Amino acid sequence: MKRKNTPTPHDAVFKHFLSHVDTARDFLEIHLPATLRAVCDLDTLRLESGSFIEDNLRAHYSDILYSLKTVQGDGYVYCVIEHQSSPDKMMAFRLMRYSISAMQRHLEQGHEKLPLVIPVLFYHGKTRPYPWSTNWLDCFDVPALAKEVYSVAFPLVDVTVIPNDEILTHKRIALLEMVQKHIRQRDMAELLQELIILLTYDYYTDEQLKSVLNYLLQAGDTADPEGFIRRLAEQSPKYEEVLMTIAQKLEQKGRQEGRQEGRQEGRQEGRQEGRQEATLKIAHALLNSGIDRETVMKTTGLSENELEQIRH
């Protein structure tokens, strides 16, 4: 059962005041940093519905979300009150989480760009002044390293532009990179030489090899998958047993599919012959009843030549 949180007096009075647009406008006009206030059109301030605070935190935090226009487009101002007697060391991180939640909702509403979200912390605890940093990077053990990670573009591994010769030097990840680089670009049989080189190293478990070959067979393309696996097995002694097992299963599957296809074609032909025979019998009965040939052909869909066969 969902736990119901009882609003505190702090929460109630804050929401009562900040839910009024004019009050919120004064609050932001006074407390927003000058650089941010300069890009915000506070005359477009609008109270947004919904809350991004998790249920287990609602007894401790009160969130008010306003949207407004900025020079760059739509922006969000996000106000959070902290009314505990003990300040929250991780409050800056919580503000970041709430900001990202607001961004996510913005995207879900059909927008293509992230909005600017400005989190503002309103504090009135017993300890003063507020003792913790409101920079979320200070929540990390090494803020300088966190800044290096989160203030620049994230690392990108784009295998589509890495040369094959370089991928071959990538040790235990090389097989995955090589296969995924080329899975859409060419017949997987053209990868044979590169795969043989990679399988000369004792880098991969049998399960990893099975996984990557299953991926090749499902997502890749080749005229002769069984032959491809057998050629790979012939030149990869370390993995020959695993590869031959896969090749044998492919051969067996091919035989089963061939038999099944034959049976299916036989049943289909039988059904077609049965329907044709029944149609001819109906046409024969209609002709014997004195129905003219044109009407019989329209009714049964038979051609004149087929009606001639009935007469003989």
Is residue 311 over pLDDT 90? Answer: no
User: Average per-residue pLDDT in the chain?
Assistant: 79
Instruction: Count the Cβ atoms, other than its own, within 10 Å of residue 133.
Output: 13
Domain locations along the chain: 9-150, 159-251
Is residue 85 over pLDDT 90? Answer: no
pLDDT (average), residues 286-301:
69
Residues 191-249 pLDDT 10s = 889 998 999 888 999 888 888 888 888 888 877 777 888 888 888 888 888 888 876 77
pLDDT (average), residues 99-110:
87
Look at residues 30, 32, 4 and name the one whose alpha carbon lies nearest to residue 120. 32
| Maximum mean pLDDT: which of 51-65, 160-174, 216-230, 265-279 | 160-174
pLDDT at 141: 97
Is residue 123 over pLDDT 50? Answer: yes
Q: Point out which residues pair with 145 in neighbouring strands.
A: none
**Separation of CA 63 from chain center:** 30
For 235, the token pair is 């030149």
Q: Point out which residues pair with 75 in neighbouring strands.
A: 68, 116
* Sheet hosting strand 116-123, strand order edge to edge: 40-47, 61-70, 73-82, 116-123
- What contacts 38, CB < 8 A, 6 or more positions away? none
